[in-house]
Copies of this chain bind each other. A is one copy, B any other.
């Protein structure tokens, strides 16, 4: 898919078909995540990819907004250092990772839906995380149950001229 088509077709997908994601497509999405830029190339992340149904069902319990994870074909847990001091910088880097994941998934016809993580103790237990890491976000993946991903003409966003300022505010 053309880059612009993938970028404009990406939307929040939280209902998935039962179709599994081919291993090579899942690996391509993870490769896109790995390639994301980060502050001084520190790459302050690890990715735990979960595809087993029982694991996905339990992972869906880490946050009230993570229900869609249970029915996803795969979910990538974005794992970050627990050190508070790195909070803002790591968040910015994880945002870039997230976009890489979602746009590469869209390019393959795969929908994606983000979730925060509330119960860190449960996430740590389920994912086997070391004490010095936290699960920052979950990105659920799967083929959309409603309709294929197609470029969206008028996205639900603030108007261009409201958001964009020329030369000065």
Task: Tell whether A35 pairs with B79 under 8 Å between CB atoms, given A91-B92, A94-B95.
Answer: no
Q: Contact: A165 with B104, CB < 8 Å?
A: no
A83 at the interface (CB under 8 A from B): no
Task: Tell whether A95 pairs with B103 under 8 Å between CB atoms, given A7-B32, A163-B43.
Answer: no
Write the chain B residue with the least CB distance to A48: B165
Sample 13 A-B pairs with CB under 8 A, ordered by A number.
A3-B3, A4-B104, A4-B107, A7-B35, A41-B157, A47-B163, A48-B169, A50-B167, A91-B92, A91-B95, A93-B95, A96-B96, A96-B98
15 additional contacts, CB 8 Å, given A2-B2, A96-B98?
Answer: A3-B3, A3-B103, A4-B104, A12-B37, A30-B163, A33-B163, A34-B157, A34-B163, A37-B114, A92-B94, A92-B95, A92-B137, A127-B169, A128-B168, A133-B169
